[in-house]
Amino acid sequence: MITFSKDKLDQVAEIISHYPEGKQKSALLPVLHIAQNEFGGWLDVPVMDYVASLLKLEPIEVYEVASFYSMYNLKPVGKHVFEVCQTGPCMLNGSDDIIDYIKQKLNIGVGETTTDGLFTLKTVECLGACGYAPMMQLGKTYREHLTKEKVDAIVEECTQISLTP
């Protein structure tokens, strides 16, 4: 049975309090962010159904939102998701080479996950870091001014995190 911890339920109640009476649907995007974090980095159908029940919505209202926004994953992803920007300003500063390097290093294509389930590579469109290009999003953080050496260090860092129990 899918359910949030007490702590997360309190957080959901706090978010709902931001809106007028009866407008709890407004909490959908923030609550989907919480759900994705809590339940393995992606939104499985039962998870979305749970969110729908929490916010008193029809499941379809949740599915249509989850499928619209690029930050929600509708398929399982690796433990560390590399989201590399490839739009104009990043391209001018060599993002294509960075993407190729990551593909080669992790031996996966764009949209794929390594067989050990550690890494997923995604290409994304402009993340608002054009002055610090090339860059990628990794979890909550931006990794900017990427070079091959920096990619090596990031892969190493993520591998270490996964090794520590």
When the beta carbons of 94 and 159 are compared against another protein, the nearer one is 94
In angstroms, rounded to a whole number, what is the distance separating the alpha carbons of residues 51 and 57? Answer: 8
Give the footprint of another protein on this chain (CB under 8 A). Answer: 18-20, 23, 25-30, 32-33, 55, 57, 61, 64-65, 68-72, 86-89, 91-93, 124-133, 137, 140-142
When the beta carbons of 109 and 128 are compared against another protein, the nearer one is 128
Minimum distance, C-beta of residue 72 to another protein, in the bound complex (Å): 6
Minimum distance, C-beta of residue 33 to another protein, in the bound complex (Å): 6
Burial 5-17 (b: 16+ CB within 10 A, else e): eeeeeeebeebbe
CA dihedral 64, 43, 73, 23 (to 10 degrees): 40
Minimum distance, C-beta of residue 73 to another protein, in the bound complex (Å): 11
Q: Are strands 80-85 and 119-124 parallel, antiparallel or unpaired?
A: parallel
When the beta carbons of 27 and 106 are compared against another protein, the nearer one is 27
